[in-house]
């Protein structure tokens, strides 16, 4: 073998060993690591590219649109929007999905005012900057939800300005869910007709539909778009996401491009053809019932961690329908070892499928040991 290849393989082997080790102790970020997509390896030999609109064929034939459309059908069913009424695509992640939702909103309401909470993900702040959307940030209550009284006050002060909402369906730090019902009721009470609701459901978009009826995330509500990450709950070695919206909204912004013989309806031109296959494979093999079971398993494991922390008198916090467990940050060595995300006074574990009880026990032992030193 050529020397340069040997050198490359050696570096790869070393890196793989490192990743294996680091993967053992990842519990602080919402990335499901329990998957096996090796049946898809042969497709790494093809230059798959889903450039353009998923629903319009394209001059470039090496694409996986048929898989992508099946993925979108799954999400359309999950969020209750009829097959002939929705549009969407598999994008690069929650961030692109959020940018897309807010882009559509701004195209619909060029003079719109964006409203989101203090606990919104940084991708929302960024989208507001990119799109130059005037915005107001609403403080949160002790649960990490939007303060609805403050919200009402802000809306009243905005007069007849069209409103664009980003609602958090699971905040990054607390897993808190902004109440869609409350915001919708507010629109009715204040007789506001021009509004757009985008739901940032990066992680909890795959948990909420299976668990909590009160927060039910559905296009039967007057919402306009939903963004979900693919690499979070479903799990994927390549970051990805899904954005879903109403077809009629996208028809307003579509541009026909000769060169690719497709419609330029997405944010990026070229798009991964592998990530739709990854999501398709997960959906086909787990099915709705499999995901439902996983969501319940994550919540159960999260309850277990919460109880363990309480038993050992470590100040902790957990919302009912969330797999995020917050607690007083442990020794920095432990936070580093377990890749915990910390913010202000709190650290958190996001209890994903691979954060099983034995793993939680291991983590607790580490914490207890460090308290004794």
Ligand X SMILES: *Cc1c(COP(=O)(O)O)cnc(C)c1O
Q: Which residue, 143 or 247, is less far from ligand X as judged by CB?
A: 143
Q: Which residue, 131 or 192, is less far from ligand X as judged by CB?
A: 131
As measured in angstroms, the least distance from the Cβ of 84 to ligand X is 28
Residue nearest to ligand X (CB): 94
**Which residue is catalytic, options 66, 289, 322, 343?**
322
As measured in angstroms, the least distance from the Cβ of 42 to ligand X is 26
Token couple for 282 = 């997960």
C-alpha span between 54 and 90 (Å, rounded): 8
As measured in angstroms, the least distance from the Cβ of 39 to ligand X is 24
As measured in angstroms, the least distance from the Cβ of 193 to ligand X is 28
Name the residue with tokens 């607390």.
Answer: 174
- The contacts of residue 2 (CB under 8 Å, 6+ apart) are none
Quickly count: other Cβ atoms within 10 Å of residue 295's Cβ: 21
Q: Which residue, 128 or 263, is less far from ligand X as judged by CB?
A: 128
- 370 noted as active-site residue: no
Q: Which residue, 58 or 119, is less far from ligand X as judged by CB?
A: 119
Contact 151, 186 (CB under 8 A): yes
As measured in angstroms, the least distance from the Cβ of 145 to ligand X is 13
CA distances to 119, 144, 367 from 329, in Å: 19, 18, 10
Contact 321, 208 (CB under 8 A): yes
- The contacts of residue 51 (CB under 8 Å, 6+ apart) are 58, 60, 63, 260, 262, 269, 270, 271
C-alpha span between 91 and 265 (Å, rounded): 12
In terms of Cα–Cα distance, which of 233, 221, 247, 196 is closest to 80? 221
DSSP E strands in the chain: the ranges are 86-91, 113-117, 135-138, 163-168, 195-200, 225-229, 241-246, 256-257, 262-263, 316-317, 324-327, 341-343, 346-350
C-alpha span between 69 and 54 (Å, rounded): 7
As measured in angstroms, the least distance from the Cβ of 209 to ligand X is 16
Contacting residues toward ligand X, per CB under 6 A: 93-95, 98, 121, 123, 168, 170-172, 200, 202-203, 229, 239, 241
Which residues are annotated as catalytic? 322
């Amino acid at each position: 073998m050529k020397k340069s290849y040997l050198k490359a393989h050696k570096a790869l082997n070393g890196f793989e060993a490192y990743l294996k080790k680091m993967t053992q102790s990842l519990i602080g970020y919402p990335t499901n690591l329990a998957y096996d997509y090796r049946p898809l390896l042969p497709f790494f030999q093809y230059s798959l590219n889903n450039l353009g609109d998923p629903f319009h064929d394209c001059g470039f034939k090496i694409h996986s649109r048929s898989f992508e459309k099946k993925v979108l059908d799954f999400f359309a069913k999950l969020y209750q929007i009829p097959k002939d009424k929705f549009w969407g695509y598999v994008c690069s992640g929650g961030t692109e999905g959020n940018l897309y939702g807010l882009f559509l909103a701004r195209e619909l309401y060029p003079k719109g005012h964006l409203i989101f909470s203090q606990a919104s993900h940084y991708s929302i702040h960024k989208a507001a900057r990119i799109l130059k959307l005037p915005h107001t940030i609403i403080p949160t209550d002790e649960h990490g939800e939007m303060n609805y009284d403050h919200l009402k006050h802000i809306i009243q002060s905005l007069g007849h300005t069209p409103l664009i909402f980003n609602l958090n369906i699971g905040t990054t730090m607390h897993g808190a869910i902004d109440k869609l019902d409350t915001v919708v009721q507010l629109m009715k009470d204040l007789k506001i007709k021009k509004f757009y609701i985008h739901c940032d459901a990066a992680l909890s978009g795959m948990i909420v539909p299976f668990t909590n009826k009160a927060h039910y995330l559905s296009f039967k509500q007057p919402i306009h778009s939903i963004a979900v990450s693919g690499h979070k709950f479903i799990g994927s070695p390549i970051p990805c996401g899904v954005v879903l919206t109403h077809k009629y909204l996208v028809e307003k912004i579509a541009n026909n491009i000769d060169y690719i013989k497709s419609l330029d309806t997405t944010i990026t031109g070229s798009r991964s053809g592998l990530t739709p296959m990854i999501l398709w494979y997960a959906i086909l093999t787990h099915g709705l019932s499999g995901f439902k079971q996983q969501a319940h398993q994550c919540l159960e494991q999260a309850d277990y961690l919460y109880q363990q922390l309480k038993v050992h008198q470590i100040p902790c916090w957990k919302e009912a329908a969330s797999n995020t467990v917050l607690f007083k940050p442990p020794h920095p060595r432990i936070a580093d070892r377990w890749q915990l995300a910390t913010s202000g006074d709190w650290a958190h574990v996001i209890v994903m499928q691979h954060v099983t009880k034995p793993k939680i026990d291991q983590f607790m032992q580490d914490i207890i040991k460090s308290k004794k030193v």
